[in-house]
Chain A
Amino acid sequence: MGAYALAAIPLAYFVYLFLYPLASILWVSLVLEGRLDLRPFAEIVTRSSLRAAIWFSFWQATVSTLITMVVGLPAAYVFARYRFPGKGLMRAMVTIPFVLPAVVVSSAFVALLGPSGFLGLDLRHTVWAVLIAHVFYNYAVVVRTVGGLWAHLDPRIEDAARMLGAGRLRTFREVTFPLLRPALAAAASIVFLFTFTSFGVILILGGLRYATIEVEIYRQATSFLHLGLAAALAVVQLVGLTVILFVYNRYQERRSVELGLRAAVETERKPRTRGEHAFVWGTLGFTGVFLGVPLLVLVERSFRTTSGYGLGYYRALASTAGGSLFVPPVEALRNSLGFAVVATVVAVAVGLMSASVIAYRRDWSGRTLDLLIMLPLATSAVTIGLGFIVALDRPVDLRTSPWLIPLAHSLVAVPFVVRTALPVLRSVKGRLREAAAVLGAPPARVWREIDLPIVARSALVGAGFAFAISLGEFGATAFIARPDRPTVPIAIFRLLSRPGAVNSGQAMALSTVLMVVTALSIGLIERFRVGEAGEF
């Protein structure tokens, strides 16, 4: 009974904010005079450039996901199992790429990978630049999602395997890997969806020789105003990804294992042997260089004024002398933080409710919700943004309300909360709950004293992501009408849309501010402690 009530809220949320707008825009675009117009679908079949976009989306997402997983795993392990100085800082830093607008990140990549970059290679407009940027953006997803569960795995299980004579590799393959499977699956599916629907990176770094379905949807909708074709492409993308997700979920579900989880503080330790030191510092060094160098390029530019290094651009930020903004950037920062708080609260509330339903109800209702929460990541941002315009004018006109912005952000953030909470929730031993119930604890108390403390830690990771997503203004909000309350990314765009050293310099300074604020907020969010179980 309770579970149905619990399911009702996330369901209502998804129906109102996602399914209804999506259905409305598809109806408007594809149904002409009461009849489904199949011509756009025929066009997809006959036009080779559109077929190419489908194929490109698929293969680059597969490759990007594989590379990101392989590159991210060592760092996930190091963050999960070792204690080292500056860990909190590094953990926050890993999430920074997430918030940076593609146009800013791309400018750093062009500086590094362009003809005058220090690598001496010109990778602009190649698929390599796209893949590298995808790994850069999604590294955090693997490190945090997988690392989150890994930190709670009881190391004694691995120790036992080693003791019984299994080598490192075999222990990983036969013990650790199966135990980590839910988190690996969660990370892989999020990275896959993100890179499949990748947009800004593809446009800017890939050049238009490479187009994903999402890029085609954007071009068809906003450059050609072919809403029918855009909608048909959105349907193809959504259906394709839903099938992939469905098959993948079914496959994963059969394999999740209940485990005894441990507090993260109990499982982490300092590196001991020389090999461990080399591994830990090597991995951290790679992470620092790979994520840090592009970020440092931006920071360096923010200080490099035409008259030498200085704080000129930061001082300019404090005034509106440039005149290109309605409001000082400080206010943009306040807007961003305000939206991010609302988006995070909504995402965590809806996400935790969804995760509980999915974990407890392994029947069709749980599975449906499990799929449903992932769909916003599989849906074209342009399409859903235009869907808001068509659908959300009744019963209240939400279309131009500032609240639509954080609500749209939360739609993208919920999957993160669910994906980080679910592996942990699922791994809670049923026996633990039963024992509590037998001892007389009512369901609410079981939830509060068993599930909540265990899930809270990963919920915080999810909250951090939600906050970062909102700060970085991903997806649909770029395509909806916004009351003029510029957020930081919008202020950056606006500065970058005009020539002039002061404009580009301020854009870099504001990007740097955004990085610092992100790191601080995520650091702060993760300092919360819930329950008595310590850092769970």
Chain B
Amino acid sequence: MRSELRSFPPAAHVAVVAAAIVVLLLAAAGCGGGGPTTSSAPAAPTTSAGAGGSGGSSTTAAQAGGEVVVMTHDSFAVSDAVLAAFTAQTGLEVKVLKSGDAGAMLNQAILAKDNPLADVMYGVDDTFLSRALDAGIFEPYESPGLKNVQASLQLDPQHRVAPIDIADVCVNYDKKAFAGAVKPPATLRDLTNPEYRGKLVVENPATSSPGLVFLLLTIAQFGETGEYTWQDYWKDLVKNDVLVDAGWEEAYYGSFSGGSGKGERPLVVSYSSSPVAEVVFSETPLKEAPTGVAPPVARTQIEFAGVLKGAKNPEGARKWVDFMLSKRFQEDMPLQMFVRPASDEAQMPPVYAQPGVAVGTLTYVSNDLVSYESIGKDRDRWIEEWTAIALP
């Protein structure tokens, strides 16, 4: 009977749906397997990995293909051509794993220590470095490319991480807002003066990386002791109606008035490369940047790359670190991630030096007080003290 045929028992119903889900999960498994696990390649443990630029010596069968998995933060960017050059040179496909912001990425790497998600990690900066080193997630590797990198950037003497790039955190100003009688601030201290009242927007150091580096800048500048400490400075900034936003996007686009900003405040904590980005990403060609840097004081933020312990393709990981330090990659960064190259052999693109765009000479604060070790030790206390002052 027809209805007999149609009326299969509920179990069969369930089975159909179950089968569908099983198929999905299996597909997922297959896909996952296609990820880093089966990358196969010559997983032969040529590891021993110790320091020393054993780079070229063990170029075994890697040529035959395989892949290197690069874990990085969401702001990572590279030109297609540059990425293709790496594959052409090494025969390795690059799989990029975007893992949230630098903090989220580091958490993931630490939690996955026993079975790492990737071969190499890029994007941990000096504010997170001590945590990363303490957690022991990196394998030492001294890339030959380090010979072009200043010793002052090579914070880890064991070479567990290699410096790749530098960003300068500083205050940007809206040029049109300071075209009249009020000039842009000349010193950090100026920002507490009445003529800059209600004009500055900063990011919260507890949720924003430039926000934290700016806090470090003020700590380095004013110190923890003495008659005018960083806490005194921030109390004055608060009196002068500083605005605190959660992240860079809100501060720059939402509250800042300069360039592509849509807000009303003419001073914002950003990067020294932001005026250049305004020119590069303007719709109509600009001769002059709509924003500049003032006061001309900055703190550097160094970003590192390191081979992850337990990497499935440590050889590929080392090649990636070498590649990131190569002239080709280093010269790609300034217009992709808007950071300065760590390698001395790399040239900055001409737009950075163009009159009307160039931000002039910046003074860098000393990192004695805010070295990566002291950040590891004091960061929580600084942020708590800052929160008590700025967000009472």
Whether the pair A499, B252 counts as a contact (CB closer than 8 A) is yes
Interface-side segment among B154-162, B256-264, B350-358? B256-264
- Judged by a CB distance under 8 angstroms, whether B28 is at the interface is yes
- Judged by a CB distance under 8 angstroms, whether A498 is at the interface is yes
Known: A400-B69, A503-B281. A6 touches B14 (CB 8 A): yes
A209 and B105 alpha carbons, distance in the complex (Å): 26
Whether the pair A353, B77 counts as a contact (CB closer than 8 A) is no
Within 8 A of A (CB), among B267-285: 270, 274, 277-278, 280-284
Within 8 A of A (CB), among B95-109: 95-101, 103-108
Residues of B within 8 A of A106 (CB): 250, 254
Residues of A within 8 A of B117 (CB): 389, 399-400, 481
Identify which of A496, A497, A499, A501 contacts B283 (C-beta below 8 A).
A501
Known: A445-B3, A447-B10, A493-B74. A222 touches B107 (CB 8 A): yes
A418 and B158 alpha carbons, distance in the complex (Å): 55
Give A365 Cβ to nearest chain B Cβ, in Å. 15
Interface-side segment among B231-239, B240-248, B293-301, B361-369? B240-248
- Judged by a CB distance under 8 angstroms, whether A28 is at the interface is yes
Known: A115-B264, A497-B248. A9 touches B283 (CB 8 A): no
A222 and B131 alpha carbons, distance in the complex (Å): 12
Whether the pair A497, B249 counts as a contact (CB closer than 8 A) is yes
Known: A6-B14, A349-B21, A401-B31. A208 touches B97 (CB 8 A): no
Whether the pair B253, A107 counts as a contact (CB closer than 8 A) is yes
A305 and B281 alpha carbons, distance in the complex (Å): 12
Whether the pair B206, A219 counts as a contact (CB closer than 8 A) is yes
Residues of B within 8 A of A447 (CB): 10, 13
Within 8 A of B (CB), among A100-158: 103, 106-107, 110-111, 114-116
Identify which of B107, B118, B253, B264 contacts A386 (C-beta below 8 A).
B107
Residues of B within 8 A of A107 (CB): 250, 253-254, 262
Whether the pair A390, B277 counts as a contact (CB closer than 8 A) is no
Known: A349-B17, A407-B28, A482-B97. A444 touches B9 (CB 8 A): yes
Give A289 Cβ to nearest chain B Cβ, in Å. 22
Interface-side segment among B32-40, B141-149, B173-181, B319-327? B32-40
Whether the pair A500, B98 counts as a contact (CB closer than 8 A) is no
Whether the pair B249, A396 counts as a contact (CB closer than 8 A) is no
Output the nearest chain B residue to A442 by Cβ-Cβ distance: B7
Known: A403-B28, A444-B8, A497-B74. A208 touches B244 (CB 8 A): yes
Whether the pair A9, B14 counts as a contact (CB closer than 8 A) is yes
Within 8 A of A (CB), among B1-32: 3, 6-14, 17-18, 20-21, 24, 27-29, 31-32
Which DSSP category, helix, strand, loop or mixed, fits chain A's interface? helix
Whether the pair A481, B338 counts as a contact (CB closer than 8 A) is no
Whether the pair A346, B97 counts as a contact (CB closer than 8 A) is no
A94 and B336 alpha carbons, distance in the complex (Å): 38
A311 and B253 alpha carbons, distance in the complex (Å): 21
- Judged by a CB distance under 8 angstroms, whether B188 is at the interface is no
Q: How large is the interface on A (under 10, 10 to 19, 20 to 34, 35 or more residues)?
A: 35 or more
Residues of B within 8 A of A386 (CB): 107-108, 111
Whether the pair B13, A500 counts as a contact (CB closer than 8 A) is no
Give A423 Cβ to nearest chain B Cβ, in Å. 22
Residues of B within 8 A of A305 (CB): 283
Residues of B within 8 A of A494 (CB): 74-75, 77
Give A137 Cβ to nearest chain B Cβ, in Å. 17
- Judged by a CB distance under 8 angstroms, whether B391 is at the interface is yes
A221 and B108 alpha carbons, distance in the complex (Å): 10
Whether the pair A403, B101 counts as a contact (CB closer than 8 A) is no
- Judged by a CB distance under 8 angstroms, whether B47 is at the interface is no
Residue from B6, B107, B262 with most neighbouring chain A CB atoms (10 Å): B107
* Contact digits for A185-202, partner B, Cβ 8 Å, 1 yes 0 no: 000000000000000000
* Contact digits for A232-264, partner B, Cβ 8 Å, 1 yes 0 no: 000000000000000000000000000000000
Give B383 Cβ to nearest chain A Cβ, in Å. 7
Question: Chain A residues in contact with chain B, CB under 8 A?
Answer: 1-2, 5-6, 9, 13, 25, 28, 49, 103, 106-107, 110-111, 114-116, 203-204, 207-209, 218-219, 221-225, 227, 301, 305-307, 312, 322-326, 342, 345-346, 349-350, 353, 382, 385-386, 389-390, 393, 395-404, 407, 441-445, 447, 478-484, 486, 490, 493-494, 496-505
Subset of 11 A-B contacts with CB under 8 Å: A208-B206, A223-B212, A227-B111, A307-B283, A325-B77, A353-B17, A396-B28, A478-B104, A484-B97, A500-B281, A503-B281
Q: Which 8 A-B pairs have the closest CB atoms?
A: A500-B281, A222-B103, A401-B32, A403-B28, A2-B10, A396-B29, A203-B246, A484-B96
Given A225-B131, A479-B104, A493-B74, 12 additional A-B pairs, CB 8 A: A115-B264, A221-B104, A222-B104, A223-B206, A307-B284, A389-B108, A390-B111, A397-B35, A399-B117, A401-B31, A401-B32, A504-B260
